[in-house]
Amino acid sequence: MPGQETNSPPRRGGREARARQGEASRVAAPVRRCREATETAQTGWSDRQPSFRRTEHPSAMRHLSCARRGILLAGATLWCLSILAAPAFDLSPVYRFFAAICHQNPARSWYVFGEPLPVCIRCASIYFAFTASLWTGIRPNVRWLRISLLLMLLEFAMARFVTDTAVLRSLSGILVGLAAAPFVKQGVEEIGDRL
């Protein structure tokens, strides 16, 4: 009403008002946290309960992601070391394990210390390239994965009908291992994030 005084300050521009409001909330936030901490210390209870969702702690998510990558890298490295250790130490359980995965044809395997590896050349190339890809941090590329799988299929057909060479088997395995590892790593991280 005209003639009546009000206790509220006169209105000013929007920018100044927002700046003052932002500063007031910044000043009030530590006071509110202090009050909540005091209340919690006195009563053991706070009206504001913390949320334990993983998305609120990006550093914790980064640590979990690094742990999953480390586990995948360690597993792939141990996998390859077991392949190399089997002929060196005559580990028959390793040969039996890989017999379920690979044909283990000695004519199509590399030899270490005069003994064939527990996997064929193509499988060994996939596993070692996969591990090397994890160690080097190659990024996922769908085009390269498709090309490498197509080349492996062509090599497989060529080995059946034209010529079968260790170089082609090894090369196709290396390409698939290098291209597939980033997708496996990405999949492991996504599965871990959903758990």
Q: What is the mean pLDDT of residues 69-86?
A: 94
Instruction: For 111, list phi and psi in degrees, rounded to 5.
Output: -115, 140
> What is the C-alpha separation between 33 and 39, in angstroms, rounded?
10
Gyration radius (Cα) of the chain, Å: 31
pLDDT of residue 52: 47
* Helix (H) or strand (E) run with residue 21 in it: helix 14-43
Mean pLDDT for the chain? Answer: 80
Q: Per-residue pLDDT for 11 more than 70?
A: no
CA atoms lying within 13 Å on the CB side of residue 126: 15
pLDDT of residue 70: 87
End-to-end, the C-alpha distance of the chain in Å comes to 62
**Residues 182, 187, 188: CA angle, nearest 5 degrees:** 100
Q: Answer yes or no: are the C-beta atoms of 176 and 144 closer than 8 Å.
A: no
pLDDT of residue 177: 97
pLDDT of residue 14: 60
Lowest mean pLDDT among 17-21, 25-29, 34-38, 50-54: 50-54
pLDDT of residue 82: 96
Nearest to 168 by CA among 119, 129, 122: 122
Statement: the pTM of the whole predicted model exceeds 0.75: no
CA atoms lying within 13 Å on the CB side of residue 151: 18
Q: Per-residue pLDDT for 28 more than 60?
A: no
**Residues 184, 178, 81: CA angle, nearest 5 degrees:** 85
Q: How many CB atoms lie within 10 A of CB 89?
A: 10
Lowest mean pLDDT among 38-42, 75-79, 120-124, 176-180: 38-42
If you search the block for the tokens 């936030």, which residue do you land on? 29
> 3-state DSSP call for residue 120?
coil
pLDDT of residue 67: 81
Chain segment 92-138, per-residue pLDDT in tens: 999 999 999 999 999 999 999 899 999 999 999 999 999 999 999 99
Q: What is the mean pLDDT of residues 139-168?
A: 93
Q: Per-residue pLDDT for 46 more than 70?
A: no
